[in-house]
Structure 1
Amino acid sequence: MSAHPPTSANTPLSRTDAAKVADSLASKARLYEPLSADTDFSTTEDEVFRSQVNDIYALPVDSRDAIYLAFSAKHLPALATALRSLHHTTQPLALSSCVLLLCHLPAVDRGNVYLRTFLTSDSARGIGTIVARAWCDGLAPNKEHPLGPGTLSAFLIAALFWSPPAWGDDDTASIDKAERARMTEKLSAIIAELPAEIPGGMKPGVGPPPPERFVWLDTKRLERILQGIDHVPEFIASSQEQLKMKAMDETLLCAVCLEGDDDGKEVTRCSRCKHTVYCSAQCQKKDWKTHKLRCFTPPPQ
């Protein structure tokens, strides 16, 4: 199974390539071959895993997202099982490798419907607290892509906004109160070192924005969310109601023409990803070139 998909403009990544690389990541992270108790990754295993993560990071954004969307669609329940079984003092490399995968997942609000589905399922119970603890403990296996802020902040935001608050120990958020306090302290130190102005400016120009822009935005946003939870106990519950209504709207309108029942058009879901909806075969065909690298079969819930 190749870990190195085609990357040139003449040989674009296919959906099959993306799924194979995602499977390879899951294999190298030992998601389906659990380590025995108190046994960590060997130096070689750790280096091989980190090398593949770095190779994927060097791909064009669309290809990179396709791989991690494929991973999100298929392997998140197994990743959650691994995270629950690993111990942070005796298995730091294996644990941090699992958390590192979460760092690179496309955010829910940037189109990762598979992550959203996972975070609302019972498979994700307790994962927000485990990941927050690992982040605060400083488990960073990779100098190029350390655990946070940035992309891990995006995952923690998603865990707070989509997982039930009842999963936490104070019923106000899915991440336990003690870990939220540690997150706030860690964020204060991180934010003190961020540039005063948003990278790329308030209105970035043509082309993809710099990665540092998302790091800056997600870090600031996570801080504000934690402040909201501290000051308004119902902050997450009320926010989730709004998010659920928005998500419901996505299932009622065609992804292409944005028309639905109110316009006299019946919409149907994509048979593979079970999420994106279309009002006609014509709209689905028009969207296929864009959708195909985001369309994967999720496991049964």
Structure 2
Amino acid sequence: MADMLAKNARVHDRLPRGTDFTKAEYDEIQNQLNAMSLLSDADRDPIYLAFSAAHLSALVAALREMDLATQRWAVSTYIQILSVLPRPPANVYLRRFLRAPGAAGLPGLVARHFVAGIECMRPSGPGHLCALLADLLVWCSTHMGDDRRAAVDKALRDKVAAKVRGLCRRPDLRRLPEGERDDMDRLPAMMRSIDSQPAGSYVKATRRELAKGIPSQKRCGVCRQAAGMTCSQCKAVRYCSTECQTKGWKSGHNLTCWRMLDADGHDF
């Protein structure tokens, strides 16, 4: 299903400049995303993890070439897909991408499109977009921003915060699920904390706190002892022995282990 989503969204077969999705293409992608939203987390997350490993780099590369004015559906859909992926603490592929050079400029790009006004389509929504922006601010390098406080320039952060405050005042959005409203409230508060604390300190502290819930890459993924082996495919889990590697594979790693590819289909 991950490959089907990439195919339907034309992640690799890129749209020509100035050409948007047709209504049929747009509906097909939305139908697939909505169908996937009905799956349990246990069934849906492996699909999105597989997408993150194989297609995330290509999706971002394609998004960089798009123009919101002429490709509104495509831009909105690509950002929508980003917003429904498992979040970085639970998504090693997304986490690796956001810390790599390929993510340069992505936070600002998403922020500019958000301010300009993209479509908020289910199963995503304003709260998901705010959560995505928060993740980009936390996990991407603060050196991307002009004041080194966060990965988005100060003036653009202010515009994002103003946009979110405006959305929060809309009566129709007050009916959003509580979790989404919380994400919308949290983003402007996060912006204020970024501005009020020494450069980069809020982002780094938040990243460290979130990282506490991520298994150490220095420990075996099964027994938590010191590890000297790395999974040769995903390169995300370490093991102390072949015995533990076999146990890990049989106990669930086989469901979340994929090669991570760059935009050209090479090893990331």
TM-score (norm: length of structure 2): 0.85
User: Unpaired segments of 5 or more residues in structure 1?
Assistant: 1-20, 195-210, 261-265
* Structure 1 residue 72 displacement after superposition: 0.7
Structure 1: distance between partners of 2:137 and 2:147:
13
Q: How does 1:1-301 map to 2 (within 5 A)?
A: 21-109=1-89, 111-140=90-119, 142=121, 144-149=122-127, 151-191=128-168, 212=177, 214-232=179-197, 233-236=199-202, 238-239=204-205, 242=208, 250-260=216-226, 266-288=227-249, 289-299=251-261, 300-301=267-268
* Structure 1 residue 153 displacement after superposition: 2.6
Structure 1: distance between partners of 2:182 and 2:257:
27
Structure 2: distance between partners of 1:214 and 1:166:
30
Please say which of residues 28-37 and 286-295 is displaced more in the overlay: 286-295
- Residue identity matched to 1:179: L
User: Unpaired segments of 5 or more residues in structure 2?
Assistant: 262-266
- Residue identity matched to 1:92: R
Greater relative CO, 1 or 2 (CA 8 Å, sep 6+): 2
Count of residue correspondences: 257
Matched-pair contact (CA < 8 Å) for 1:153–1:219? yes
- Residue identity matched to 2:25: E
Please say which of residues 97-106 and 237-246 is displaced more in the overlay: 237-246
* Structure 1 residue 78 displacement after superposition: 0.8
- Residue identity matched to 1:89: A
The SS at the match of 1:250 is coil
Change (3 A) 1:219 1:281: farther
Identical residues among aligned pairs (%): 34
Matched-pair contact (CA < 8 Å) for 1:161–1:239? no
Matched-pair contact (CA < 8 Å) for 2:138–2:207? no
Structure 2: distance between partners of 1:131 and 1:192:
22
Spell out, residue by residue over 1:254-292, the C-alpha distance to the aligned partner (whole angstroms, 9 max, x if none): 2233222xxxxx442222210112223443344333222
Structure 2: distance between partners of 1:215 and 1:68:
20
* Structure 1 residue 180 displacement after superposition: 1.0
- Residue identity matched to 1:174: A
* Structure 1 residue 163 displacement after superposition: 1.3
- Residue identity matched to 1:277: R
Structure 1: distance between partners of 2:170 and 2:257:
38
* Structure 1 residue 51 displacement after superposition: 0.9
Aligned-pair RMSD on alpha carbons? Answer: 2.6
Spell out, residue by residue over 1:193-231, the C-alpha distance to the aligned partner (whole angstroms, 9 max, x if none): 79xxxxxxxxxxxxxxxx946434533443332111111
Spell out, residue by residue over 1:3-35, the C-alpha distance to the aligned partner (whole angstroms, 9 max, x if none): xxxxxxxxxxxxxxxxxx111111111111222
Change (3 A) 1:219 1:295: farther
TM-score (norm: length of structure 1): 0.76
Matched-pair contact (CA < 8 Å) for 1:83–1:127? no
* Structure 1 residue 106 displacement after superposition: 0.2
* Structure 1 residue 189 displacement after superposition: 3.8
Matched-pair contact (CA < 8 Å) for 1:116–1:158? no
* Structure 1 residue 241 displacement after superposition: 7.3
Structure 2: distance between partners of 1:213 and 1:276:
34
